[in-house]
Amino acid sequence: MLSKRLEQLAEYLQNPIHFADIGSDHAYLPCYVCSRHERATAIAGEVNQGPFERAKKTVREHELSDRIEVRKGNGLDVIKEKEVNQITIAGMGGKLIRTILEEGQAKLSGVSRLILQPNIDAQLVRKWLIEHHYKIVAEEIIAEDGYIYEVIVSDYRKEPLHLSEHELLFGPYLLQEKSDVFLKKWFHEKEKRSKLINQMKQATILPVEKIKKLETEMEWIEEVIE
């Protein structure tokens, strides 16, 4: 059975589905999508040999080799320009997702939708998206197996885009919704920042700027969760 997290990503793929799943590991997402949509095609990209072999095995077992290609390579290197109309990248840190998008920019022409699930640092992903004309059109926050995941869905737009600092950190839709999972996440994030500040204050050379940034974020979190 597919995780709730990956199911949620699949929900946001739009017909006609020709997508690349970057960092696909077992290729569970492409197999799930192509099993449900008979015209869908996918490229499962993997940089590491173990997951690359696992992905090929899952695709073979599902008898989907005619519609899912497993390719080995770094980030968007595995796709050609205009080969896919949507890209999913899930289960990585926001910094790595940002690097993959930044380094693969040339491959994004023709990609109308990016569906991203950063494990941490979602604000870095949101910032990259708006700076590169991808408007956030939906967000999800999900609790599964003791972890909290955010999903960001964004569509290419010609016009310039803007998000406030608050929206970048919390997510424009998640901030409006303030679900129980969201409140739980930010309660923990506040505790984490408080511990970090205390640790930083023990240092011989005080990282003043970092402490100031964390304190500001703590104030924002307090405003949002209270």
Where does this chain bind ligand SAM (CB under 6 A)?
Answer: 6, 22-25, 45-48, 51, 74-75, 90-92, 96, 100
Burial of 3 (0-12, 13-18, 19+ CB in 10 A): middle
State the Cα–Cα distance between residues 102 and 97, nearest whole angstrom: 9
Instruction: Find, among 61, 56, 122, the residue nearest to 89 by Cα.
Output: 122
As given in the structure block, the two tokens for residue 138 are 């939906």
Residues with Cβ within 8 Å of residue 76, at least 6 apart in sequence? 20, 22, 45, 87, 100, 101, 103, 104, 107, 108
Q: At what angle do helices 4-11 and 28-36 cross, to 10 degrees?
A: 50
State in angstroms the smallest separation of the CB of 95 from ligand SAM: 11
- E runs forming strands in 74-133: 86-92, 113-118
**Rounded (10°) CA dihedral 31, 35, 39, 42:** 0
Indicate the residue among 17 and 163 with the shorter CB distance to ligand SAM: 17
Indicate the residue among 98 and 190 with the shorter CB distance to ligand SAM: 98
Indicate the residue among 51 and 171 with the shorter CB distance to ligand SAM: 51
State in angstroms the smallest separation of the CB of 222 from ligand SAM: 32
State in angstroms the smallest separation of the CB of 51 from ligand SAM: 4
State in angstroms the smallest separation of the CB of 185 from ligand SAM: 18
Indicate the residue among 22 and 181 with the shorter CB distance to ligand SAM: 22
State in angstroms the smallest separation of the CB of 156 from ligand SAM: 21
For residue 190, which amino acid is it?
A: K
Indicate the residue among 42 and 163 with the shorter CB distance to ligand SAM: 42
User: In sequence order, what are the beta bridge partners of 148?
Assistant: 143
Indicate the residue among 91 and 172 with the shorter CB distance to ligand SAM: 91
State in angstroms the smallest separation of the CB of 199 from ligand SAM: 27
